[in-house]
Amino acid sequence: MKPPPFDYHCPETLDEALALLAEHGEGAKVLAGGQSLVPMLNLRALHPAVLIDINRLPGLDHVSLEDGRLRIGALARHRAVLESAAVREASPLMAEAYPYVSHGPIRNRGTLCGNLCHNDPASEMPAVVLASDAEMVLQSASGTRSVGAGDFFTGMLSTAARADELLVEVRMPQAPAGQGAGFHEVSPRKGDFAYVAAGATMTLDGGTCSGVRIVCAGVGDGPHRARAAEDALEGAAPGEDAFRQAAEAATEGLDPGEDFHADADYRRDLVCSLTRRALADAASRCH
């Protein structure tokens, strides 16, 4: 299990990196933390002609909260995000969910942006950023554009990023004051990708749930927003029954896919119970 041969570039500036991406296009792969890319190379599931290693690009490792906006750069490692005070302040959901993402040594290298670009359907963070109205800032030699999370995740292991684009930053609005978040996951083992994960955020507005967001991972070919469940709860009084009903709504019409680890019935059951738990946690953490 050794990688196939490839050309390797390690640009020192963003412009250089973007020029290389423009030059090599589809044949190139960006190498960030390598925690998804290198296993795939070792398995020879990919044969890129060129690797463009972005690890030496300056100024992309930020995790910051400015003017009510959380900004996480392409080289912010999982560990930096996990330990960031800015994240705890700006996104209780991300803070709740991060401990479920892999293990220490993987987090030391892996990046949030790489994780989002990889878009594994069982990955936690795509669901988190989907719930958080995040914007993906994509830059190429020909310009910069911003894509909302809802449009970014386009299917199994694929995103709206073009081959010549780099995801340079994720931006998220700071969660509204008083927001509570809950995140629950069942994975084969601690630190593994999820069978199913469910995240929820809400604020309690005059005793009723408002701004409810419910997202799931592991239920299809990418992160999933359970809009019917959100609608069922929006404006309702919090409580076990309400959460249960919302959780059931989250499973309605859901075709979560299956593999030998987890069949569709099992995934639906998990969506239901984990959503309920996430909602209960979210409500109890509103302040």
Partner 1 sequence: MTTPRTVELVVNGEPRAADAEPRMLLSDFLREKLALTGTHVGCEHGVCGACTVLVDGESVRSCLMLAVQAQGAEVRTIEGLGSADDMHPLQEAFWEKHGLQCGFCTPGMLMSAVELLESNPTAGRDEIREAISSTLCRCTGYQTIVEAVQAAAEKMQGEGQ
Partner 2 sequence: MTRERHYIPESRQREKPKSKYFAIGHSMKRVEDTRLLTGSGTYADDVSLPNMAHAAVLRSPHAHARIVAIDKSKAEALPGVICVMTGAEAAEVTGPCADFSSPPTPQHCIAVDKVRHVGEAVAAVVAESRYIAEDACELIEVEYDPLPAVVDIEDALTSSGDAVLHPGRGDSNVAMQRTIEFGPVDDDFAQADLVIERRLRWPRSGGTPIETVGATAHYDRGTGKFTIHANTSMYNYVGWLIAVSLKVDPHRLNIVPTDAGGSFGSKLFCHKVCTLAGTLARAAGRPVKYLEDRIDNMTSGDAHGSDRLYDARLALKRDGTMLSMRLKVVDDYGAYFQYGVGQHGNAMAQVTGPYKINSVEVDLTAVLTNKCQQGAYRGFGSEVGNFVIERLVDAACEEFGIDPIEMRRRNLIEQDQFPYIMPTGNMYDSGNYQAVLDEALGMIDIEGWRKKQAAAREQGRYIGIGISTCQERSVFSATEFWMWNPNETPGFTLSSSPESVSVNIDPTGKAFITLNAPFWGNSPETMAVQVLAEKLEMDPADISVGYADSDKGFNSSGPGGSRFTVMIAGAVSGAADVIKEKMLRVASHMLEADPSDLEFRAGSIGVQGVPGKEKTLAEVALHAHYFRLDLPEDHDLTSGIDAAYVYDHPVTTMPSEDRTDLGIFYPIVGHMCHIPVVEVDVETGKIDFLDYVAVHDCGTMVNPMTLAGHVRGGTVNGIGSALYEHFHYDESGQLHNALLSDYLHPTLMETPVDIRVGHVETPSPFTEYGIKGGGEGGRMGAPPAIAAAVEDALKPLGIKVDSLPLTPKVLRGMIREAEANGG
Ligand X SMILES: Cc1cc2nc3c(=O)[nH]c(=O)nc-3n(C[C@H](O)[C@H](O)[C@H](O)COP(=O)(O)OP(=O)(O)OC[C@H]3O[C@@H](n4cnc5c(N)ncnc54)[C@H](O)[C@@H]3O)c2cc1C
Residues that bind ligand X (CB under 6 A): 29-37, 39, 74, 101-102, 106, 110-111, 113-115, 117-118, 123-125, 161, 166-167, 191-193
Nearer to ligand X (CB atom), residue 136 or residue 249: 136
List the structure tokens of 17: 């990196």
- Of the pair 6, 266, the CB lying nearest ligand X is at 6
Centre a 10 Å sphere on the Cβ of residue 258 and count the other Cβ atoms it contains.
12
The CA distance from 205 to 145, in Å, is: 35
Question: Comparing C-alpha atoms, which of 269, 279, 272, 176 is closest to residue 234?
Answer: 279
From CA 28, how far away is CA 56, in angstroms rounded? 17
Write the DSSP string, 33-44: S-TTHHHHHHTT
For partner 2, give the closer residue by CB, 3 or 178: 3
- The answer to whether the Cα torsion of 79, 83, 85, 88 is positive or negative is positive
Judge whether 272 and 280 are in contact, CB under 8 Å: no
Nearest-angstrom CA–CA distance, 177 and 144: 31
Instruction: Give me the 207-236 binding string for partner 1, x by CB under 8 A, dash otherwise.
Output: ------------------------------
Is residue 149 within 8 Å of residue 134, measured between CB atoms? yes
DSSP state of 77: B
Among ligand X, partner 2, partner 1, none, residue 111 binds (CB under 5-8 Å by kind): ligand X
Could you tell me where the beta strands, DSSP code E, fall in the chain?
7-9, 28-31, 50-53, 63-66, 69-73, 135-140, 143-148, 153-155, 158-159, 166-173, 180-186, 196-205, 208-217, 224-225
Query: Nearer to ligand X by C-beta: 71 or 118?
Result: 118
Q: Which does 262 bind (CB under 5 to 8 A by kind): partner 2, ligand X, partner 1, none?
A: partner 2
Choice between 2 and 287, CB closer to partner 1:
2
**With respect to partner 2, which residue has the nearer C-beta, 151 or 263?**
263
**Minimum gap (Å) between residue 184 Cβ and ligand X:** 14
CB of 118 to ligand X, least distance (A): 4
Please state the closest distance from residue 95 (CB atom) to ligand X, in A: 15
Among 47, 69, 190, 227, binds partner 1 (CB under 8 A): 190
Whole-angstrom distance between the N-terminal and C-terminal Cα of the chain? 51
188 forms part of the interface with partner 1 (CB under 8 A) = no
Which residues are near partner 2 by CB under 8 A? 1-5, 44, 186, 188-193, 195, 259-263, 265-266, 269-270, 273-274
- Residue 145 near partner 1 by CB under 8 A: no
Residues 66-105 that bind partner 1 (CB under 8 A): 79, 103-105
**Which parts of this chain interact with partner 1 (CB under 8 A)?**
1-10, 31, 34-35, 38-39, 41-43, 51, 53, 55, 79, 103-106, 108-109, 190-191
